[in-house]
Amino acid sequence: MKEQTRIFLSGCNGKMGHVIAEICGTYEDMAIVAGSDKNTEALPFPVYDDPTKCKEEFDVIIDFSHVSALPLVLQLAAKTGKPLIMCTTGLSEEDKSALFATADKSAVFYSGNMSLGVNILISLVQKAASVLYPEFDMEIVEAHHNQKLDAPSGTALMIADAINDTVGGNLEYVYDRHDVRKKRDKKELGLHAIRGGNIIGEHSVIFAGPEEVLTISHSAMTRNVFARGAVAAARFMKGKAPGLYSMENLVGTK
């Protein structure tokens, strides 16, 4: 039997917490030994209302909860020195500053998107942009469910920023062309949002050249992809030294 990675799961009684627990149950080298949640309903492991009260030994912390839980989660990471995989969304700049400061005492893993596939897409897109730009025009198209509030998606902007950094940082993000009567400029990077139905998340990057078109795409079939990425990050982060880590480290592009 493989040596297990013992996980403390913040947000264990939430929807994504249950998904992470289910996924961990399919791996013999992963085990959740304790967790925390405002809902302390019993699970197969101890559940605390305050993560800093944890008495069990663990190797890594996964936080998939609510931003309001962040201060106590950071206290747990600093107190134990154990790596923290931060999956909670909606962090303010102040929250991020506190998170990054914790990396002085504990290893911290943070990514704008926890999907392994999306981060592989970003790596491929950067390679394509470095070769094809400026001869090829680049456009990003994303699609999500009809309840999503922001447009374009945070992931689309994450992809756009990766492309922009790759080609020198001079691209102009264009979100709407309906009221502009002019030819497309070579420095434009178009971002287009589609909203409808129950689309989990689709992102495509189009490289349109004079004789050919290359499209690199990713589709999330379920929201479980984010939980599976968190579990992969937990396995990767076990025993890591203090510092800030990202999906680039995990997928081997940094």
- The string of pLDDT tens digits covering residues 147-204 is 998 899 989 999 999 999 999 999 999 998 888 889 999 999 999 999 999 999 999 9
Whether residue 204 sits in one domain with residue 110: no
CA distance 42 to 185: 58
Give pLDDT, residue 254.
61
Q: Which domain holds residue 81?
A: 5-114+224-250
Give the ranges where the chain is alpha helix by DSSP (H).
15-24, 70-80, 93-102, 116-132, 154-166, 224-237, 247-250
Question: Does residue 225 carry a pLDDT above 70?
Answer: yes
Candidate list 144, 203, 218, 238, residue with the active-site label: 144
Distance CA 51, CA 142 (A): 37
Find, among 194, 195, 192, 187, the residue nearest to 206 by Cα. Answer: 192
Domain CATH code at residue 158 = 3.30.360.10
Residues 133 and 206 in one domain: yes
Annotated catalytic residue, options 18, 105, 148, 240: 148
Extract the tokens encoding 183. 């030819």
Return the structure tokens found at 85: 């995989």
Confidence of residue 227 (pLDDT cuts 50, 70, 90): very high
Residues 144 and 102 in one domain: no
3-state secondary structure of 225: helix
Is 144 an annotated catalytic residue? yes
**Mean pLDDT within 66-95:** 95
Are 48 and 124 contained in the same domain? Answer: no
Beta bridge partners of 61: 8, 84
Q: Catalytic site residue 254? A: no
- How many domains are there within the chain? 2
| 72 and 96 together in one domain | yes
Domain match, 196 and 229 both: no
